[in-house]
A = this chain, B = another copy of it.
Amino acid sequence: MADFSSPSLRRAPPRGDDRLFLTERKLRQGAELMFFAYRDFTEDADKLLTGRDYGRAHHRTLHFIGRQPGISVAGLLEILAITKQSLARVLKPLIADGLVRSETGADDRRKRLLYLTEEGRAFEGQLSLAQRERLTNAFREAGPEAVEGFRRVMALMIDSDRRDDILDFVYSNADAGNVETKE
């Protein structure tokens, strides 16, 4: 926000007006960039999904299971922030199609621990490859400093009350190798 109480802004109408105008514009531009960039960002994976009876929700589910093998249904629900009914509609076919394996928890037999199967890992790899290529190109062309700025702004876009939790998750190692940690 511009500081309207600033004397320099008050006594210089054209300069002040211009600054305010630029600020408003930049915010609108930022919002539009979010829209256009996100639309194309998801485009590649979406194409791989269509025709398979799968959608973006299936991709996200595969991604987060691959990210944290052995994650429980509740854990997945918390990250995705959807209802269990919504998750069930996505998870059921993934299990039926052999992309995800559900296992009864060892210590807590109520829990269902989720893992990608060999086939699931392969498909998830295909999906993320598309996005990774786009990100790679963007990051490389933009340069390290721009990427750092991107990360900062994106992090600050997240709801402040859950930001720390989300960032802890994003920047945690977990199981980045997507290894099916069975036992």
Contacts and interface: CB of A to CB of B under 8 A. Distances in A.
A132 B36 contact: no
A34 interface: yes
A140 B153 CA distance: 9
Chief secondary structure at chain A's binding surface: helix
A135 to B, nearest CB: 5
Contacts of A148: 146, 149
Residue of A132, A148, A154 with most chain B CB atoms under a 10 A cut-off: A154
Q: How many copies are assembled? A: 2
Interface string A25-46: 1111111111111111101000
A12 interface: no
Given A36-B166, A176-B25, A134 B153 contact: no
Interface in A59-97: 60, 63, 67, 81
Contact of A32 (B36, B137, B139, B170): B170
Q: How large is the interface on A (under 10, 10 to 19, 20 to 34, 35 or more residues)?
A: 35 or more
Interface in A145-163: 145-159
A90 to B, nearest CB: 15
A118 interface: no
Closest 4 A/B residue pairs (Cβ): A149-B149, A146-B149, A138-B156, A150-B153
